[in-house]
Amino acid sequence: MVFVDGVRTPFGRAGEKGQYWGTRADDLIVKAMIGLLERNPSLPKGRVDDVAIAATTQTGDQGLTLGRTAAILAGLPLSVPGYAIDRMCAGAMTAATAVAGGIAFGAYDVAIAGGVEHMGRHPMGFDADPNPRFLAEKLVSPDALNMGNTAERLHDRFPALTKERADRYGMRSQQKVAAAYEAGKIQPDLVPVAIRSESGWGLATRDEGMRPETTMEGLAALKTPFRPHGRVTAGNSSPLTDGATVSLLASSAAAKELGLSSKMRMVSFAFAGVAPEVMGIGPIPSTEKALKKAGLTIDDIGLFELNEAFSVQVLSLLDHFGIDDEDARVNPWGGAIAIGHPLASSGVRLMIQLAAQFAERPDVRYGLTAMCVGLGQGGSVIWENPHFDGKKK
C-alpha cells in the first residue's frame, strides 16, 4: 500500500481578513483534487475506486457527502464514488487509513483521501449540540469541550512542561517553517488558489499564518485566552485556519501498472482513546500501538511529523518517549503552529511533508505522522521510505 502523491492548498488565516473568506470550502478541496490529478496524468480518472474526504463540520459548503460532491466538481467520471469522513482533527488521516484498509483488503486499487476545514466559515463547535449526559453524568469534564482548556490541563498535569518550553517550541516552529520556505521545500506541494476579495481577484500561493518575526519576549507578553494566568497563548497554539489537503493512495501493484510514483509505503496505523480533558496526549498510546503492530520501537523512527495543535501537546509526546525538544528528527520543516491547522485536513498535510523529506533522506527508513484529536483520541501512521539506501547516518 503506497502513498503515491499528495498536495494541498496554501493555508489561510480564518476570518474576515483571511485569504479564503470569499472562497467556498468545497472549492478548496476541489482545487486541491484537480491539482493532484494534474500532477499524476498517467492515472486514468476512471480507475479511482473511491474518494474519502473529511471535514469536522459537515454542513453547508462542507456538507452533502464531500467525497462525492468534490469528485464530481473535480471532473472525475460519474462512475467514481465518494463519501465523507469525520474524526475531527484526524479526519484526513482517517480518510487515508480507511482507504488504505480498502486497498489492503483488495477492494480498491487506487483511492483518493483528503480533508478540508474552513474554520472561518465553520467556527469550531458551531451548532454542535453535545448530549447533556456528557456533563450531567460527568462522563467528560467541561474542559474536554474546549481544546485550549485541554492544553492548559496538560500544563497542570506535567509540571515539567513549562510555558517557557511551550513558547520556545512555538518560536522554533515559526523559524523552521520560515527556513523551509526560504529553501523552497514547502512550495512544490502547494496548489495555488484563485481568490476573490473586495480588491478584486488574486492568487493564494503561500500559507498566510506564518509569523517568522516571533521572539520569546513577544510570546511572553501574549494573553492567555483560555484561563487567567494560564500558559496557552496564540503563540504556542495552532491558529484558526482554512485549507484543504488531498492524497492519492494505491496498491503497490496498481502504482506499478499505472506508472505512478511510490513516495511512501504504509507500514501500520493505529488510533487510541484517552481522557477527553487531556486529549493532547492521545498520540502517545496511538504511537505505541502503531509501533507494536509494526514490530518497531521509537528508536527506529528517523523522522517525525507531529501535528502541533499546541506546543504543550507535542512536548508531552516528546517527554514520554525521551526525545529532546530540539531533536532534529522532529518536524524539521516546522509545523501547524506556523503553517496552521485546518482541523480535518491536517493529517494529510503531515503525510505530504513527510513524503517530501523521505525523498531527500535516503538514510531514513521509517517516519511517523501523528496527531491528537478532540474528545480524547490520537492517531498515528508509520511509513517506510522507498528511497532508503540501507545506510543509516
Q: Select from 12, 82, 148, 283 the one that contacts ligand COA (CB under 6 A).
A: 148
Closest alpha carbon to 25 in 35, 36, 12: 12
Q: Which residues contact 350 (CB under 8 A, 6 or more apart)?
A: 93, 305, 306, 307, 369, 370, 371
Q: Select from 75, 202, 225, 259 the one that contacts ligand COA (CB under 6 A).
A: 225
Is residue 243 at the binding interface for ligand COA, with CB under 6 A as the rule? Answer: no
Closest alpha carbon to 333 in 210, 151, 204: 210
Chain positions 67 to 106 lying near ligand COA, rule: CB under 6 A, are 89
Other CB atoms within 10 Å distance of the CB of residue 326: 10
111: which 3 cell numbers? Answer: 483511492
Distance CA 249, CA 263 (A): 10
Shorter beta-carbon distance to ligand COA: residue 250 or 317: 317
CA 321 to chain centre: 21
Catalytic residue chosen out of the listed positions 89, 118, 122, 155: 89
Q: Select from 237, 287, 377, 385 the one that contacts ligand COA (CB under 6 A).
A: 237
Burial pattern 248-285, b for ≥16 Cβ within 10 A else e, equals: bbbbeebbeebebbbbbbbbbbbbbebbbbbbbbbbbb
Chain positions 343 to 382 lying near ligand COA, rule: CB under 6 A, are 374
Query: Binding segment for ligand COA among 17-25, 210-218, 257-265, 324-332 (CB under 6 A)?
Result: 210-218
For the question of residue 122 being annotated catalytic, the response is no
Q: Select from 87, 341, 349, 361 the one that contacts ligand COA (CB under 6 A).
A: 341
Catalytic residue chosen out of the listed positions 118, 229, 372, 387: 372
Shorter beta-carbon distance to ligand COA: residue 147 or 382: 147
Is residue 231 at the binding interface for ligand COA, with CB under 6 A as the rule? Answer: no
Query: Binding segment for ligand COA among 47-55, 90-98, 236-244, 319-327 (CB under 6 A)?
Result: 236-244
Shorter beta-carbon distance to ligand COA: residue 143 or 384: 143
Shorter beta-carbon distance to ligand COA: residue 6 or 148: 148
Q: Select from 309, 344, 356, 370 the one that contacts ligand COA (CB under 6 A).
A: 309
Query: Binding segment for ligand COA among 36-44, 233-241, 282-290, 360-368 (CB under 6 A)?
Result: 233-241
% helix, strand, coil for the chain, step of 5: 40, 20, 40
- Cβ atoms of 273 and 375 closer than 8 Å: no
Q: Which residues contact 366 (CB under 8 A, 6 or more apart)?
A: 267, 294, 296, 300, 301, 302, 303, 382, 383, 384, 385
- Cβ atoms of 262 and 4 closer than 8 Å: yes
Shorter beta-carbon distance to ligand COA: residue 134 or 388: 134
Distance CA 393, CA 390 (A): 10
Shorter beta-carbon distance to ligand COA: residue 87 or 263: 87
Q: Select from 112, 147, 303, 351 the one that contacts ligand COA (CB under 6 A).
A: 147
342: which 3 cell numbers? Answer: 485546518
Q: How many residues bind ligand COA, per CB under 6 A?
A: 18
Is residue 331 at the binding interface for ligand COA, with CB under 6 A as the rule? Answer: no
Is residue 154 at the binding interface for ligand COA, with CB under 6 A as the rule? Answer: no
For the question of residue 229 being annotated catalytic, the response is no
- Cβ atoms of 261 and 352 closer than 8 Å: no
Query: Binding segment for ligand COA among 90-98, 128-136, 214-222, 257-265 (CB under 6 A)?
Result: 214-222
- Cβ atoms of 2 and 258 closer than 8 Å: no
Q: Which residues contact 227 (CB under 8 A, 6 or more apart)?
A: 149, 152
Q: Select from 222, 258, 275, 323 the one that contacts ligand COA (CB under 6 A).
A: 222
264: which 3 cell numbers? Answer: 511512501
209: which 3 cell numbers? Answer: 499564518
- In DSSP notation, 115-159 reads EEEETTTS-TTTT----THHHHTTSS-GGGG-HHHHHHHHHHH-T
Q: Select from 238, 331, 353, 385 the one that contacts ligand COA (CB under 6 A).
A: 238
**From the CB of 235, what's the least distance to ligand COA, in Å?**
4
Is residue 316 at the binding interface for ligand COA, with CB under 6 A as the rule? Answer: no
Q: Which residues bind ligand COA (CB under 6 A)?
A: 89, 147-148, 211, 214, 218-219, 222, 225, 234-235, 237-240, 309, 341, 374
List active site positions: 89, 341, 372
